[in-house]
Structures are given as C-alpha cells and as structure tokens.
C-alpha cells in the first residue's frame, strides 16, 4: 500500500474514506478546516460532504445520518464544540445507530483562536469515549477505531486533535476503503426520543456504558508501553507524547495513551507501580494528572510543566530536566514586527477607515479577517467575544447606553459567514427588542479568514455545485428590520453617508457592504456584478504633501518615506481598489499615468 | 543512515513559496528512505505575516517541531526574517542561507519603525557559515523571480550534503507540469550559487 506524507487533517479525511463514513459535515475553523476540505476534494464521490452554517447544525446533521443508519462525522475547532455542546451532550444519552465520531481541533497556544480551552473535559463531561492521536498515521487509524467503538458501545466518540497534530505532516500508510453500509433503522422512542421519561432510562444506559468503556480502555490496544527501565516513567498522549520522547529518548519508560476517556486506570496503576519517578506530560490542563491523583497515584505534572500555551521539546526539557538548549545571543530589538494585516484591495478597509474616524462610537467586532480592524492604523474596534456575539453584545451595550444616557453610539460589525453562523439570531434579538444600535454586515461573498470556504450566501456548496444564495437583506427584512442601507464599501462617500444615516436613526439600523474578498476566486457572477479595474494607482510626488492620510488606510501596497515625507504605492501589490485615492486631500493619487 | 535527526527551518513571508520548497525537500527525503516530519508553524500566510516551516528527517523522528537553538540549517526567504529566527539555530555548526531580498512589514510601511538594513551583517557576525544568495535575481535570470524558493532549496540541499538524491523526481512530483523545467533549472542554479 502507498505511503504518503499527510497532515493530520488529511489523514482524518482519508480515514473517513477507508472506514466507510457516508456523511460528513463541518463549519470551517482553524486548525481543523482542512478535514472537510480534503473530503470535498478527494472523497466526495463516496462521502456526502457539506459545509454547515455552524457547528451545532453540522453535529445535528451527522446525528440524523447516524440515527437513520449511516456512519457519520462532524468536525469543528475547539470553540466550535461549545456551539455544538447541546446536541453532543444529549446524543451521548441516545447513542448511535450508524457509528458517529466528531473531531475537536483544539488550539493550544492560540495560533488563531480567542481562547485555548482544553476540550478533553467535554468527553468526560458527556461520559463518551475519546481518542487522541499523536501523528497522522494514528489520525487515520483512529477514525476506524472510533467508529468501531461507537457502534460497539453505542456512543458518539470524540477524536481530540490539536494544532500540531492537525497541521504537522508525517507518513501515512493507506488501507483499502471498506464497503459503506446502512444499518437498518427501526423506530425506537425509548432509545432516540429523549423526553424526560425516556431520558431517565437513557441516563442509566450512559452510566452502564461508562463502566464498560472503562473496562475496554484497559483491554484495548490503544495504550502502548515502551519500557526502558524503572527510573523514570512518563504518561502522555497526543502531541505531548512526541515531545517527551524527543527529550528523554531511552532514558525513560513511557505509557502512551491513545484512549483517554475514560482513562485506562488499570494499566496506569500497573505502570505507576513499576517506576520510581512518574511524570504526566500533557498540554494545557491537568486532565490526566488530576484523575491519577484522585486514584491515589503519586505523580509530577503541572507543578513543573506550564498550563498555558503550546508545549514543545524545549519547554519539557527545561521543566523536567532543568537543561536549557543554548541559543545565539543577539539584539532582537532591531527586528521589526510583521503582524498580519488586511490585504491590498480588501473590501473591509474602506468601512473601517470611515468608522475609525467617527468620534463617540463604541465598535463591537466579531470573528473573521475584520478582527484585524482593531490594530493600528485603523484602530476601529473596541471589543469582541465569539462567533456571532457582535450583534448581541452591541444590543446589550446599546440598552445600557440608552438607560444611563451615555453619550456614545454602539456599532457592531460581522462578516457574512459569521452572520449565517450565529449572527442571525443576534440580529433577530436586536430587532425584536428594539435596539438603538447600528449593525453592519461586511459581506465579502465567502468565508475568508479560514481560506475561502463557500457558505450559504456564496452560491456554491463545498464541491463547487451551485446552491441557492441566502439573501441577507431579505433575512433582515423578514425579522422586521426597517432601516437597511446597502453600499459598495469601495465607495467611501457612500459608506460615510450610510454610516451617518444609520447613526442618526432611532432604533435598529442595518448596513450591508457587499464586495468580494480580493483573494477569493471570483465567480462569473462576481465579475459581472463588480467588474473590477485592477490597474494600479500611483502617487504624484509633486502633489503629495506628506500628510499620511493614505497611510492611515493601512494598505500593504502603501508606504511612507519619513525622510522625503512622501507616500508611494507599490504597483506590484496594488489591487487598484482606489480607497487611498479617495482619502487623499490633494488628489495626488490616481491610476497610472495615461490611464 | 545515521541515527541523528537533522532539523531544517525555512522562514519568510506569506506567498514566498516556503511551503512548496518544504514539500519538495520532504518528498525527496521520503523517497530516499528517511522518516520525515514537516510542520507549518505560522498560518497567517495570506495576510502578510511571518511564516516558518520546519522539516525534520532521520531514521526515526518523534517531535514534528523543534525548540530554539536546534536548527542545523536556517533558510530565510527574506533577509530580516533571518534575524527574527536566528534563535532557532544551533550555537555551533549551523548554516544560515539568506535570500538578499527585503519585504517591508506594516510598521515599516507606516513609517513607524525602520527596516534593519544591516540585518545580514548581524547574522554573519554570529554564524560563521552564513551564505547570502541573491535568489530572486538568480530566478529572474532563469525566467521567473517567483522560482527564488527553489533556488534557495538548491542552496539548502547543498549545505545539507544531500545533492546525490533524486531531486528532479521530487520536483516533478510536487510542481505543476508547466513549471517543472523552470524549477529544475532554479534548483540547479541553487546548487551552484
């Protein structure tokens, strides 16, 4: 069989294909986005695959597929599981028909997330089985195991990954895909209809299953002991296991856990009894360590290993051996920062430029590229929280502002995909409860931040097939929103006018900016609707007075020469959007001479 | 094959092709029988951020990532980035390959801070085996400045002592057919710089 270098995400997709998954759904979220992307690209002939509007919906669709008899899966980032926690916790009661697993892609170190919660606790909370792969081969193999456990023990199974497992590439040996089957569906309300009378019966089943899973944890082949003598013993799982072996090599013995909920306590006790010093090496919370201590096993973990951030071999070496790897000492202060920034031609830039200029406005943000609008030079955002929270937080803030007569106005901004995710209900709340705030949907015709996934408003499915286009304005009107302004965000005068009108309006007001992401693959409809002229702009240095107005747009194609006191446009980077030309007070910026 | 694991760090700015270079490197090493792990460390590639890829190879590789002071070879696709990631490099015996090419970052474009023009000298001061390659010009002379990534890969392969492996096959495997010839030439040029 072929061996390929694959990321953990690619390997999960391959595993789903080999293990006979028939239905897969997800909402994009780093670090797990590529799982469904890969299923869509490579296995859509076998697996029905879909982008869902949010993680809860993705999870529920997979539950339905399982109950009716198909093997199914859902994938989400760690905070996405918060959204899907409701169906997850009760699906833990009903159990499955066709095997079902879901991926929780955690992000220790918060490479691209708002928190670094440790989702292992979710599996224990819901009393379901959890598997933790350490490399791509295990990612692929554990998908098959997860589905077998799911069907054998009648439980959803959580496949818990982390950024490093999702995004690191290692060798994977392929297997033959098994035949996809549909189990028979038999109406059984005692099992699948959790009304209180039934749910009580189901809870007893959960407790029995929990015990059976505990016994299985000790019997299964997912725990691996590597014996190098009894001086130092290390219990570890996931990415952290690799770091531990990297540091200790054959100077320690290991109990490598792949099945981590419930923990294989029998094997752990046996291993602990054989070693003089026992370390628990785990990323983030003391999930395993606390359970070991509760069982009376003496061990060292978070007393030495940090609970914050992503681990690496260096951190574990320093924590457990006190050895520091020597590094070259030099003056790092001369290295300029290279923060991410909104792109040249980004349709969000103009809106935030105008919004940032307005005084006495509190701007509530949301999750997406536009989260960068809080950074200099735009400085347009005040606060944010989680997907879809922008509008609901703005509503609460507006009510308090009104009650106490505070002198500012509340404005909230979210993207199209975030609106469909959970912003719709936030807007409904704001209209229903008569919010005196301005709501802005920056519709860039795609899910941008995670790398351009289609969504219910983009007109296409994950496989590129045409789909009905959800109409944002129509949705808002159906909620009862009366004051709606639609603008092209590249036209700053129109943006200003819409902002002024919305701010003056008493009651909820909506602005929809509609313009495609500059980096997305433009559809024919995009080209027909927006017909962009990408001719670059240039600065006439005879007219430029060095006022830096254009620089405050924050476009990567614009630079400022401090000595000459002149701005310039890099024609290789310029996308021809013309926002800088509109802000120049001296009309010094225009399309290239002769155009 | 010795038991020793070698660590290569490729750094640059989103869009410079560090990932393709890492893929060719990894693919060739796998076909030569090495265990390989490759990690993209920073992901904001499309939004002008700093990006790095780590490639580790040997008889058996455990961790997909390295800590500071561990890289045998640092390949910097942009010259200031070499100074940013210099702390990843082993204190002795390491090689640093720098593309003599600057990409301004937001604070520099804004005129808030200055580009450290002497960044390559600062690296040279610390690492004896520093090699400056004008990869973008070399690639432009071949036909496309964007092939600078594969010129730098050639230089890295030479530093790693891996010139005997079948690089043409790896390039054919990883690169779109119409760019194969260009990249083979770029790789050769990289071996010779």
Give me the DSSP letters along A2-67. -EEEEEHHHHHHHHHHHTT--EEEE---TTTHHHHHHHHHHSTTTSEEEE-SSHHHHHHHHHHHHH
CA dihedral B1, B5, B9, B10 (to 10 degrees): 20
Question: Cα separation of A452 and A521, whole Å?
Answer: 8
ipTM of the complex model:
0.94
CB contact under 8 A, A330 and B70: no
Find how far residue B97's CA is from the centre of its chain: 7
Kindly state the average pLDDT of the residues A399-403: 96
Average pLDDT, chain B: 94
pLDDT of residue A268 exceeding 50, the answer is yes
**Residue A85 contacts residue A122 (beta carbons within 8 Å):** yes
Number of domain units in chain A: 4
pLDDT of residue B2 exceeding 90, the answer is no
pLDDT above 70 as % of chain B: 96
Search chain B and give the residue with CA nearest A343: B47
Question: Cα separation of A18 and A46, whole Å?
Answer: 10
Q: Is the peptide bond before A377 cis (omega within 30 degrees of 0)?
A: yes
Sign of CA dihedral A136, A367, A425, A78: positive
Which of A518, A552, A578 lies at the terminal end of a domain, its last residue? A518
- A328 within a domain of the structure (yes/no): no
pLDDT at B43: 56
**Residue A27 contacts residue A103 (beta carbons within 8 Å):** no
pLDDT at A340: 85
CB neighbours of A58 closer than 8 A, spacing ≥ 6? A25, A26, A27, A50, A52, A74, A75, A76, A84
Average pLDDT, chain A: 96
CB contact under 8 A, B67 and A336: no
CB contact under 8 A, B62 and A372: no
Report the predicted TM-score, pTM, of the whole model to 2 decimal places. Answer: 0.96
Same domain, A514 and A542: no
Residues of B in contact with A169 (CB under 8 A): 26, 36-39, 64
CB contact under 8 A, B42 and A111: yes
Domains, chain B = 6-192 (3.40.920.10)
Which of A5, A331, A377 lies nearest to residue B110, judging by beta carbons? A377
| Model confidence band, residue A595 (pLDDT cutoffs 50, 70, 90) | very low
Give how far A561 is from chain B: nearest CA, Å. 7
User: A225 pairs with which residues across the strands?
Assistant: A255
Same domain, A119 and A25: yes
Question: Cα separation of A290 and A302, whole Å?
Answer: 10
In residues, how long is chain B?
193
Cα angle at A236 between A233 and A237, to 5 degrees? 155
Q: Is the peptide bond before A249 cis (omega within 30 degrees of 0)?
A: no
Segment (H or E) for A130? strand A129-131
Strand order in the sheet with A409-415: A361-364, A409-415, A437-443, A509-514, A483-487
Same domain, A303 and A177: no
- What single-letter DSSP state applies at residue A344? T
pLDDT of residue B1 exceeding 80, the answer is no
Per-residue model confidence as pLDDT tens digits over A191-222 = 999 999 999 999 999 999 999 999 999 999 99
Same domain, A109 and A157: yes
Which of A197, A219, A241 lies at the terminal end of a domain, its last residue? A219
Segment (H or E) for A129? strand A129-131
Strand, coil or helix: A211: helix
φ, ψ for residue B173, nearest 5 deg: -70, -35
First to last CA, chain B: 27
Strand, coil or helix: A483: strand
User: A510 pairs with which residues across the strands?
Assistant: A439, A484
Residues of A in contact with B95 (CB under 8 A): none
pLDDT at A3: 85
Same domain, A418 and A469: yes
CB neighbours of A232 closer than 8 A, spacing ≥ 6? A248, A251, A252, A253, A275, A276, A277, A279
| Model confidence band, residue A532 (pLDDT cutoffs 50, 70, 90) | confident
Are β-strands B6-13 and B50-58 bridged in parallel, bridged antiparallel, or unpaired?
antiparallel
Which two structure tokens, joined as six digits, stand for A358?
């307005």
Same domain, A211 and A252: no
Same domain, A281 and A315: yes
Which among A2, A316, A338 is the top mutation candidate for probing chain B, defined by the most B β-carbons within 10 Å of its own β-carbon? Answer: A338
Question: Cα separation of A324 and A482, whole Å?
Answer: 63
CA distances from residue A79 to A129, A160, B143 in whole angstroms, order as listed = 19, 13, 46
Kindly state the average pLDDT of the residues A168-178: 96
First to last CA, chain A: 59
pLDDT above 90 as % of chain B: 88
CB neighbours of B40 closer than 8 A, spacing ≥ 6? A167, B19, B22, B51, B52, B53
CATH of the domain at A584: 3.30.70.20
Residues of B in contact with A548 (CB under 8 A): 111
Residue A293 belongs to domain spanning: 223-321
Kindly state the average pLDDT of the residues A261-272: 98
User: B133 pairs with which residues across the strands?
Assistant: B99
pLDDT of residue B44 exceeding 80, the answer is no
CATH of the domain at A80: 3.40.50.970
pLDDT of residue A593 exceeding 80, the answer is no
Instruction: Give which of B127, B177, B126, B186 is closest to B155, Cα–Cα.
Output: B186
User: A255 pairs with which residues across the strands?
Assistant: A225, A235
Size of interface A-B (CB pairs under 8 A): 164
Same domain, A82 and A126: yes
Which of B61, B67, B109 lies nearest to residue A314, judging by beta carbons? B67
- A341 within a domain of the structure (yes/no): no
Same domain, A193 and A258: no
| Model confidence band, residue A144 (pLDDT cutoffs 50, 70, 90) | very high
Q: Does B114 touch chain A (CB under 8 A)?
A: yes
DSSP class per residue in A353-368: HHHHH-SSEEEE--SS
Give how far B83 is from chain A: nearest CA, Å. 7
Which of A518, A545, A578 lies at the terminal end of a domain, its last residue? A518
Kindly state the average pLDDT of the residues B41-67: 85
- A190 within a domain of the structure (yes/no): yes
- A326 within a domain of the structure (yes/no): no
- What single-letter DSSP state applies at residue A135? S
Same domain, A356 and A468: yes
- A311 within a domain of the structure (yes/no): yes
In residues, how long is chain A?
595
**Residue B79 contacts residue B119 (beta carbons within 8 Å):** yes
Question: Cα separation of A264 and A104, whole Å?
Answer: 21
Same domain, A204 and A228: no
Same domain, A179 and A37: yes
- A531 within a domain of the structure (yes/no): no
CATH of the domain at A294: 3.40.50.920
Per-residue model confidence as pLDDT tens digits over A278-330 = 999 999 999 999 999 999 999 999 999 999 999 999 999 999 999 999 999 99
CB neighbours of A169 closer than 8 A, spacing ≥ 6? A5, A6, A7, A136, B26, B36, B37, B38, B39, B64
- A287 within a domain of the structure (yes/no): yes
CB contact under 8 A, A336 and B89: no
- A525 within a domain of the structure (yes/no): no
């Amino acid at each position: 069989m072929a061996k390929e270098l694959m990321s953990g995400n690619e390997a999960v997709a391959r595993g789903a294909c080999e293990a006979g998954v028939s239905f897969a759904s997800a909402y994009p979220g780093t670090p797990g986005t590529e799982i469904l992307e890969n299923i869509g690209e490579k296995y859509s002939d076998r697996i029905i695959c879909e982008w869902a509007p949010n993680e809860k919906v993705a999870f529920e669709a997979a539950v339905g597929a399982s109950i009716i008899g198909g093997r199914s899966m859902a994938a989400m980032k760690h905070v996405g599981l918060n959204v899907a926690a409701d169906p997850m916790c009760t699906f833990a009661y009903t159990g499955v028909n066709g095997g079902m697993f879901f991926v929780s892609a955690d992000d220790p170190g918060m490479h691209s997330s708002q928190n670094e919660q440790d989702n292992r606790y979710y599996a224990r909370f819901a009393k379901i089985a959890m598997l933790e792969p350490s490399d791509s081969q295990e990612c692929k193999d554990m998908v098959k195991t997860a589905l077998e456990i799911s069907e054998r023990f009648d439980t959803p199974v959580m496949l818990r990954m982390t950024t490093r497992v999702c995004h690191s590439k290692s060798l994977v040996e392929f297997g033959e895909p098994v035949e996809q089957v549909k189990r028979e569906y038999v109406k059984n309300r005692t099992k699948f209809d959790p009304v209180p009378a039934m749910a009580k019966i189901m809870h007893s089943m959960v407790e029995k299953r929990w015990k059976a899973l505990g016994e299985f944890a000790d019997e299964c082949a997912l725990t691996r002991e590597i014996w190098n003598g009894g001086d130092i013993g290390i219990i570890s799982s996931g990415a952290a296991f690799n770091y531990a072996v990297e540091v200790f090599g054959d100077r320690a013995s290991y109990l490598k856990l792949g099945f981590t909920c419930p923990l294989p306590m029998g094997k752990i006790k046996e291993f602990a009894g054989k070693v003089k010093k026992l370390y628990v090496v785990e990323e983030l919370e003391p999930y395993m360590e606390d359970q070991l201590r509760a069982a009376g096993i003496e061990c060292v973990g978070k007393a030495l290993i940090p609970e914050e951030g992503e681990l690496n071999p260096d951190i574990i070496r320093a924590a457990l051996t006190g050895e520091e790897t020597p590094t070259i000492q030099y003056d790092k202060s001369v290295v300029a920062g290279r923060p991410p920034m909104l792109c040249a031609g980004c349709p969000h830039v103009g809106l935030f430029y105008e919004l940032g200029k307005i005084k006495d406005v509190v701007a509530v943000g949301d999750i997406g590229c536009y989260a960068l609008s809080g950074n200099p030079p735009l400085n347009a955002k005040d606060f944010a929280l989680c997907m879809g929270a922008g509008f609901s937080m703005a509503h609460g803030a507006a009510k308090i502002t009104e009650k106490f007569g505070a002198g500012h106005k509340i404005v909230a901004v979210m993207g199209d995909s975030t609106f469909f995710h959970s912003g719709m209900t936030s807007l409904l709340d704001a209209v229903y409860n008569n919010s005196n705030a301005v709501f802005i949907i920056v519709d860039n015709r795609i899910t941008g931040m995670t790398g351009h996934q289609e969504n219910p408003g983009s007109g296409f499915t994950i496989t590129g097939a045409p789909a009905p286009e959800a109409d944002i304005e129509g949705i808002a009107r159906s909620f009862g929103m009366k004051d709606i302004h639609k603008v092209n965000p590249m036209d700053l005068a129109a943006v200003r006018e819409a902002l002024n009108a919305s701010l003056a309006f008493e009651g909820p007001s909506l602005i929809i900016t509609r313009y495609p992401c500059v980096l997305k693959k433009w559809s024919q409809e995009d080209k027909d609707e927006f017909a962009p002229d990408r001719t670059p702009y240039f600065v006439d240095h005879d007219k430029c007075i060095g006022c830096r107005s254009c620089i405050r747009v924050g476009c990567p194609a614009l630079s400022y020469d401090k000595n000459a006191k002149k701005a310039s446009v890099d024609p290789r980077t310029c996308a021809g959007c013309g926002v800088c030309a509109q802000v120049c007070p001296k009309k010094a910026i225009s399309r290239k001479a002769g155009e | 094959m010795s038991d020793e694991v070698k660590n290569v760090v490729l750094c640059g700015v989103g869009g410079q092709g560090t990932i393709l270079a890492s893929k060719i490197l990894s693919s060739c090493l796998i076909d030569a029988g090495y265990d390989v792990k490759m990690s993209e460390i920073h992901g904001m590639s499309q939004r002008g951020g700093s990006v790095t890829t780590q490639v580790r190879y040997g008889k058996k590789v455990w961790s997909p990532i390295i800590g500071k002071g561990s890289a045998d070879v640092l390949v910097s696709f942009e010259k200031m980035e070499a100074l940013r990631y210099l702390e990843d490099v082993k204190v002795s015996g390491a090689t640093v390959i720098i593309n003599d090419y600057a990409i301004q970052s937001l604070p520099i474009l804004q005129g808030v801070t200055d580009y450290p023009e002497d960044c390559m000298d600062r690296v040279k001061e610390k690492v004896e085996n520093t090699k400056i390659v004008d990869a973008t010009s070399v690639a432009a002379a071949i036909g496309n400045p964007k092939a600078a990534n594969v010129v730098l890969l050639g230089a890295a392969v030479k530093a790693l002592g891996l010139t005997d492996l079948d690089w043409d096959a790896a390039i054919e495997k990883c690169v779109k057919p119409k760019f194969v010839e260009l990249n083979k030439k770029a790789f050769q040029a990289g071996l010779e710089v």
